[in-house]
Structures are given as C-alpha cells and as structure tokens.
Amino acid sequence: MLRKIFYIISIFLVFNVSIANAGSTGSEELKLNKSKDTANECFEGASRAIFAFNHGLDNTIFKPVAKGYRSLPVPIRKGTGNVVANLRSLLTLSNNILQGDFRSAGNTAGRFLVNSTIGILGIWDPAEATFGLAKKGKEDFGQTLGKWGSGTGCYFVLPILGPTTARDAVGLVGNIFLDPIYAATHNTETDFLIGNENYQEHNFYFYRATDGVDFRAKNVESFESLEENSIDLYASVKSIYLQDRNKKIQNSNISLETQDDSDWEEIDTK
C-alpha cells in the first residue's frame, strides 16, 4: 500500500511540474476562491474535439440508456441508487481519514454499518431516519489533494470520463487504490476461492456503470436545459465543473449561479 501511495505522489509531482510550465496568473491569485473557479487550458483544441465526441456518445448511448432506466418503478430506482451510494461511501471514508476529518469519518462509517445491515445493503437509509447520522457530501482523492493545498492545475477533457484537471486526474489514479470496493473485487486470493478470476472484477465495473447511469438519469432535464441555454456548451460545462469542484473541496453549501443543487446531485467523474 505504501508503495502504491508513493507512486501516486510521484505522478502528482510530475503533474505539478506540468502545471507550473502551463502558466498561471500568480500564486496569490490562486489563493482566492474566485480564481479557483477558473483554470488554464492544457490542450483546448484537443479537449473540444474530445468533448464533441463525448457529447455525441452521450446522445446516442448514455442518454437513451438513462431514459430507459427512468422507466423503471421509482422504488427500484431509488433503492438501486441508495445501494450504489452506500458502496461509494467507503471511498468517502478513506478520504475523510486522509483529510484528518475524523468526525465526518465516524459519521460515514456509522452510516455504512447501519445502512448495510438494518438498511439491507443500503436499500433504505435508517442511519439518518433512526440514528440521526445525516448524509454528507462525497469525498474523493482529488478533493483530498485540494484540502492538502494543491492547486487546480490546467483543465482538459478525457474520453468518456469527461472534464477534469491535472489535480483531479491524479485523483482518479488515487481513487483506484483508496476505494475498498476496488480492492475487494480485484483481490486475486478472493478470485481464487470463488473459482472465477473475472467474476469479482465484473462486479466492480457493473457497480461503477450503475452509478453513472443513475446519475445521468437523475439529471436528464438539467443536461437538456444546459444544452438549450448555452451559447458555448463546452465553456458552460467547464465553468460548472470547476465551480462545483471548488465548492466540494471547501465543503460549501452555497448553490452555484449556474447550478441548482436539487437537480445536479454531482458534477464529477468518480
């Protein structure tokens, strides 16, 4: 595990060198919240091309799948979303600890234990209703790096995964090693006992795909509204993404001007 963390930090240092070379408006300005809502473009031409590809893929595959998912009965969709969120909370727990936020870590651990047992794998949420353990925001390694003082770095778009920054790209790598679900499903000893080395890995990717479909289904109208009202959709998505990431790093409860929190549950690729 220590060796894996060393690899992550090493990659992060390489990215930071690239960030410095990409140029900035000054270290003092980066400390201001407003400046954190913007980022230099690393490869704008390539990013716009990839964004167009992702948008086309969304319209032809992801959006129809999401609408099909929405045709399921509400209790099934809500239960599925709750189970996925319950599993996702383990990654939040890892990052709560890394951020030194032990109160939130205790809350997250308590919610997971209660909802996984009394709530039957997380289908229901007795942790909040019965025990007063309120649901808090998700945490990931990109947010943890931000908490540690890392700058955003330059902005770019990844195929399928969508918008990101240098910091959040490193966070994607970190999430792999910090996610207990990934560790459990890719454990070779467990695979050997089950007798099917691919079965456990398939479970992880099925879980992540379900999470993505559930998120897309909850935000069909929000995405359509953004598409209809944006002069430059690429710039609008970039602005929302950067504002949302800054908001999550600071654990702010202030709604974004371009975002209704009741519609947009999350803007991330984790």
Vertex 171: Cα angle to 235 and 84 (nearest 5): 90
Dihedral angle, C-alpha 8, 11, 17, 18, nearest 10 °: -120
Rounded to whole angstroms, the Cα distance separating 186 from 205 reads: 11
DSSP string for residues in 49-60: HHHHHHHHHIII
According to the model, what pLDDT value does residue 257 have? Answer: 44
Whole-structure pTM value: 0.79
Rounded to whole angstroms, the Cα distance separating 216 from 88 reads: 16
Sign, CA torsion 78/84/87/88:
negative
According to the model, what pLDDT value does residue 183 have? Answer: 87
Domain layout of the chain by residue ranges: 2-70+150-249
According to the model, what pLDDT value does residue 203 have? Answer: 85
| pLDDT, mean of each 10-residue run, the chain (270 residues) | 45 40 40 64 94 96 95 95 96 97 96 97 94 94 96 95 96 93 76 53 88 94 94 95 93 53 44
* DSSP reduced 3-state for 67: helix
User: Which tokens hold the place of 82?
Assistant: 């709750």
Rounded to whole angstroms, the Cα distance separating 266 from 226 reads: 15
According to the model, what pLDDT value does residue 173 have? Answer: 94
E strands present in 191-268 = none
Residues ≥6 apart with Cβ < 8 Å to 204:
181, 182, 185, 186
According to the model, what pLDDT value does residue 36 have? Answer: 60
- What are the CA-CA distances from residue 40 to residues 86, 108, 152, 185, 253 (Å)? 35, 35, 9, 37, 26
